[in-house]
Structure 1
Amino acid sequence: MEDRADFADVDRGFVAAFPEKLYSDEGDLLRDARMLDYVADDTPAPDSVNPSLWRQSQLIKREGLYKVVEGLYQVRLSANITIVDAPDGLVVIDFGTDVGLAKAGLELFRRETGNDKPVVAAIYTHTHFDHYGGIKGIVDEADVASGKIPIIAPGTVESFNKHAIGENVITGNAMSRRMAYTFGLLLPHCDCGVVTGGIGSEDDGFRTKFSYIPPTDPITRTGETRTLGGWTFEFLYAPDTEAPEEMHIWIPAIKALTCAENANHTMHNIQTIRGARTRDARNFARYLDETLVRWGEEAEVHYGPHTWPVWGNESVVAFLESQRDLYKYIHDQALRLANQGLTPLEAAEIVELPDALGKKWFNRYYHGGLHHNVRAVFHKELGFWDGDPATIMPLLPEDHARRHVDLIGRDRILQEGRAAIEGGDYRWAVQVLHHLVFADREDTEGKNLQADAYEQLGYQAEVPQYRAIFLTAAQELREGVRTEGGIHTDSLDTILAMPVDLLFDFVGVHVDGAKAADVDIRIDFTFADSGGDWTMWVRNGVLNARPGHAEDAQLTVKGPKGALAGLLLAPGRAAEAVERHGLVTEGDMAVLTALAAVVETFDPHFPIATP
């Protein structure tokens, strides 16, 4: 705690703050900086917050415009927007989550610097929505379509689109609901609730208007360069790391480096708790080491898409070496223990970071957590089964809980839960009381007691996502499922940007297989604006699609992609869609009624802490 170097670095280069309240052009509140006033500077951590997380929150709440080095600025919000002031124009790297916030960030830069150079290029460092969501606040889609502004991104255009859109749409409902838990979107802003997300301030409350423009200029191999705004940009392609498609960027003119989210002022996730594909910890280390080999002797600053920069060659090298070794240590120790026969949970309870890594603030658990990252390595390399025969086909939680309650008795479980809480044994209290909650959803006494235990686990947690999960679980147990708040990642822009095959995959996960087991639905589609004919059929409970038309289609529908997407996702409103969008149909419209009968609408507020 006596190491205060980060507090000097986080304020370095400060130019200007945003107004306390920031509104969109439509008058909607985008962010309110006062929401985090309780995370005060030089105030000791309250009893309800882990001191390490409190320290990180004091740092991460700082926002506004910062000059990193000559020619490089960052607009710091929950995710950073980096502006490269190249000789012939601005190159913008990453765009945050929201159109209005991105627009306000560029306006703040222009107002404070007097810089009116045009934006000449856009760069996505990786496929996560908080780095492309604000693109339309800075870049005009027409300028991209005309070729005036390239959008540079890692991986092929098809691959980037599929990973960026697929992750946020195909499993979007589940991910959005889990994000409400992991990011504390349902919790109050106070020292008993949200105290930042550790890697971002969260003072926008995720009031987000996502946008998306597909990339136009792919980076598919290390060593590729682009001349943008008169400066050379060199890229290191780093797939299957923090995102399925990711890259590092070197700007030799200003000796500035970013490793995207493969290097942060925090341990990152090998497996996100919100839900995404498990990552390769070994690749984190591999590409960080390759970066050190390429540019380690020259780099004078490392700037990231979250948190604050690292200045000075010695510090940059030490930072990247330590982060490299952090991920390699997690990977190697997890698999060492796996090869000794330990299960993921047993390994997670054993692995501890050596002081050389664990006592670096930037390796602490402000986004990822060591406990679940160790388990994630098992999942990546060995799959979902933990190796215990008793867990290959376990009972369902409610059945398991009822049998425990019948065996042990409700009163005995309540007694044990109270004793565990009084003794500070909160993990045991949560587990033993879980049986009461899942055996009888009306057991208010059991739910309230388990909520007490979850709350104390939340107050103790260093990982902000653990904190948010525990505190939101307590909230659900006491108050029931809340329907306000939350976030939806399947925005109109992302649905419209879907490749057609991905659109049909999205519809396919809405099909109730049992209901569709005996139907026979055959529909041809012509996407009038994007070009291309497709045929779709539902048989054996499965929706399939392929390019081209079929001779035996029962119905043919022609129209723009957006209208056809709406028809597919809400076939029960087919007549309205046909009339509103002027869709051209030929054949039996009753087929859409049959489709509507087997297509589900997802509940965005399903329970998590209760049955």
Structure 2
Amino acid sequence: MSYSPKDATAATAAANREAVSRYDMDDRQDFADADRDLLAPFPDKLYATDGRVIFDPARFDYLAEDAPAPDSVHPSLWRQSQLIRKGGLYRVVDGLYQVRNNDIANLTVVEGEDGLVVIDCMASVEAATQGMAMIREHVSDKPVVAVIYTHTHIDHYGGVKGVVDPADVASGKVPVIAPGTVASFDKYALGENVIAGNAMSRRASYAFGSLLDLDATGHVTCGIGITTVPGVTVSYLSPTDGITETGTRRELAGLEFEFLYAPDTEAPEEMHIWIPQLAALTCAENANHSLHNIQTLRGARTRDARNFARYLDETLQRWGDAAQVHYGPHTWPVWGNDGVVTLLESQRDTYKYVHDQALRLANQGYTPLEAAEEIELPEALGRKWFNRGYHGTLHHDVRAVFTKELGMWDGDPVSLHPHPPVESARRFVDLIGAEQVLAEGRRAFEAGDYRWAAQILHTLVFAQPEHQAARELQADAYEQMGYQAEGPQWRGILLTAAKELRTGVQPATFATASPDTILAMPIDILFDYAAVHVDGPRAAGTDLRIDFHFTDQGRDQGQGRDQGQTWTMWIGHGVLNARPGASSDTGLTVTGPKSALAGVLLQPASAGQLAQAGKIKLEGDEGILQTYAGLLDTFDPNFAIVTP
């Protein structure tokens, strides 16, 4: 279906013109830095294995550096997107190189005496493969001798199989170094992205604009990277070397790497890296050319803003006097000691300001939304381009501090046990009248009060989702709010809401629960993933038990030879539990490799075919699997958001 967004209104155009006065538009240092030491532009379009174009740098030509901001894009976001458009292979310093902006995240490669060390691997195998090919052509054909993940997010490990041969990792030839223990990294990397992955993927499709066209009335960039690309290959290899203490060092390719362990910051497991021979520092995503999320809009665990500040200050204490360049897994580097120190100090103080002022107002009785409306950064912080809200925003970060420190309730009794949205909307519309609600929405829209228009019309859309005039007018309001948003995730959410109100739910384009990530999950998390599929009310009266014997997963407790690993899974009281070890009263044992048992666990109806093919062995009452299959729920990747 073709889709044509509407133009910016006069009110939106005026708001975006007025915004220019709040920024130092004459500061062009970022443009010089983003262009610095380009070795090679991207050679061509990037293709998927099925021939689809998944990245074409020419698609972003509308973001040319001399192009003025259109009325439909906030001028600050337009400027950031013009910077993000710059991409290719860059020299950061001799021995350290980055491929930037064929993907949402960067590929960083350090060249040592006898090999290459890759720091973060982009989100997709396709982008990482293209990046490594450019490294091989223009920098070095030395072997990869180590891979480092800076943290547990998918855009930093998803391309790993485009960087290194899994057999070299499995043999121990190439270590994969990551923050935390191997088990904790797997838990957070895979559990966070998969167990709530269906909801996260749907919300991410809004936040990252993957359902929008790439143009000035749709998706411009992600603010910290060029775009999220649908239909790519996401891979995973578990770490082999965990970093759990600050000051830990590793010698890799003849260079020293020193790590600062920074858990519970931008990710549950994260670390900063110092390479003294290059005077090069990265604080992963704890320091960026953007304010970061304290609570992501796609959905993830709430982060600790105070920890951002704490670990940035510790980094300054350790290496602030010596650092000559700061490079990140997103955007462009900062060169010179003064520049590095300014970045880290300013971002430290920004996160601490958000944290402290949110709690100051909380202690005065403000609710999260009231505090978010009140707090502004001091000019010395807020006018720094790298503190602007291109990923997180000040508004939702303030609210996230409340969530982290005080929980989900805002302290107002009216919000303690409200009616659900549809019931509240029906009562409201019954009281006011549908035509009166529509009239007020139209008045607010014409007055340029788009926030109120969207809010009042939400009641009518949820009470009467078939009310086409309400849907169209709410879409118009969301669209103008999106055009005025500085934050690209707010823009993506609002413009996607407008599109789906007008055209209906758009098919999903991306899923965090890729086959590679599911198969890489530790066994306990695999059972956790199955558990969230169990329909509790339907399973409440069921009592069943199945033993799963994983033939390729190590040794049984106390056995002297390779016996595999057995787990018992049972359902009772509507809950799926599992623990290591065989059961004395199981009704069924399923034996096979992890890849096959994952299929049985998540799609038990497939067990018969797998058994016939000789991939698994079933011993006992096979009817238990039919019972189990009847208890599992399915997740719709296209569930409604802007309608009931």
Matches of 1:552 and 1:469 in 2, distance apart? 51
* Alignment deviations for residues 362-383 of structure 1 (CA, whole Å, 9 cap, x no partner): 0001000000000000000000
Tell me if structure 1 keeps the 8 A contact 2:605–2:629.
yes
* Alignment deviations for residues 363-406 of structure 1 (CA, whole Å, 9 cap, x no partner): 00100000000000000000000000000111010000000000
Matched, 1:111 2:144: no
Matches of 1:92 and 1:579 in 2, distance apart? 43
Matches of 2:628 and 2:52 in 1, distance apart? 38
Matched, 1:151 2:176: yes
Residue 632 of structure 2 is aligned with which of 599, 605, 608? 599
Aligned residue runs from structure 1 range 221-370, under 5 A: 221-370=245-394
Q: Which residue of 1 aligns with 2:525?
A: 502
Q: How many residues align?
A: 608
* Alignment deviations for residues 244-290 of structure 1 (CA, whole Å, 9 cap, x no partner): 00000000001000000000000000000000000000000000000
Name the stretch that deviates more: 357-366 or 530-539. Answer: 530-539
Tell me if structure 1 keeps the 8 A contact 2:48–2:232.
no
Offset of residue 24 of structure 1: 4.4
Matches of 2:266 and 2:488 in 1, distance apart? 18
Aligned residue runs from structure 1 range 568-587, under 5 A: 568-587=601-620
Residue 114 of structure 2 is aligned with which of 88, 91, 102? 88
Q: Which residue of 2 aligns with 1:521?
A: 544
Q: Which residue of 1 aligns with 2:595?
A: 562
Aligned residue runs from structure 1 range 55-74, under 5 A: 55-74=79-98
Tell me if structure 1 keeps the 8 A contact 2:46–2:126.
no
Tell me if structure 2 keeps the 8 A contact 1:559–1:581.
no
Matches of 1:554 and 1:246 in 2, distance apart? 43
Matches of 2:610 and 2:470 in 1, distance apart? 49
Residue 553 of structure 1 is aligned with which of 576, 581, 586? 586
TM-score by length of 1: 0.98
Q: Which residue of 2 aligns with 1:588?
A: 621
Residue 510 of structure 2 is aligned with which of 487, 511, 515? 487
- The one-letter code of the counterpart of 1:418 is R
Offset of residue 26 of structure 1: 5.5
Tell me if structure 2 keeps the 8 A contact 1:349–1:371.
yes
Matches of 1:157 and 1:414 in 2, distance apart? 55
Tell me if structure 2 keeps the 8 A contact 1:95–1:134.
yes
Offset of residue 30 of structure 1: 3.1
Matches of 2:489 and 2:113 in 1, distance apart? 41
Matches of 2:61 and 2:207 in 1, distance apart? 22
Tell me if structure 2 keeps the 8 A contact 1:169–1:506.
yes
Name the stretch that deviates more: 454-463 or 11-20. Answer: 11-20
SS of 2:537 mapped into structure 1: coil
Q: Which residue of 2 aligns with 1:465?
A: 489
SS of 1:68 mapped into structure 2: strand
Offset of residue 581 of structure 1: 4.6
SS of 1:253 mapped into structure 2: helix
Matches of 2:69 and 2:80 in 1, distance apart? 11
Offset of residue 86 of structure 1: 1.1
Offset of residue 350 of structure 1: 0.2
Tell me if structure 2 keeps the 8 A contact 1:476–1:610.
no
Tell me if structure 2 keeps the 8 A contact 1:30–1:101.
no
- The one-letter code of the counterpart of 1:86 is G
Q: Which residue of 1 aligns with 2:204?
A: 179
SS of 1:522 mapped into structure 2: strand
Aligned residue runs from structure 1 range 403-414, under 5 A: 403-414=427-438
Tell me if structure 1 keeps the 8 A contact 2:596–2:615.
no
Matched, 1:167 2:202: no
SS of 1:209 mapped into structure 2: coil
Q: Which residue of 1 aligns with 2:556?
A: none
Residue 150 of structure 2 is aligned with which of 104, 119, 125? 125
TM-score by length of 2: 0.93
Matches of 1:357 and 1:544 in 2, distance apart? 49
Offset of residue 227 of structure 1: 0.2
Matches of 1:609 and 1:227 in 2, distance apart? 52
* Alignment deviations for residues 480-538 of structure 1 (CA, whole Å, 9 cap, x no partner): 1111x421111111111111111100000000000000011110110011121110000
Offset of residue 582 of structure 1: 2.6
Aligned residue runs from structure 1 range 21-36, under 5 A: 21-24=45-48, 27-36=51-60
Q: Over aligned residue pairs, what C-alpha RMSD do you find?
A: 0.9
Name the stretch that deviates more: 458-467 or 15-24. Answer: 15-24
Tell me if structure 2 keeps the 8 A contact 1:241–1:284.
yes
Tell me if structure 1 keeps the 8 A contact 2:135–2:141.
no
* Alignment deviations for residues 300-359 of structure 1 (CA, whole Å, 9 cap, x no partner): 000000000000001100110000000000000000000111100000000000000000
Matches of 1:576 and 1:605 in 2, distance apart? 29
SS of 2:126 mapped into structure 1: helix
Matches of 1:498 and 1:38 in 2, distance apart? 41
Matched, 1:426 2:450: yes
Matches of 2:422 and 2:434 in 1, distance apart? 15
Matches of 1:598 and 1:109 in 2, distance apart? 50
Matches of 1:154 and 1:325 in 2, distance apart? 25
SS of 2:568 mapped into structure 1: strand
Offset of residue 146 of structure 1: 1.1
Residue 11 of structure 1 is aligned with which of 35, 38, 43? 35
The percentage of counterpart residues that share the same residue type is 64
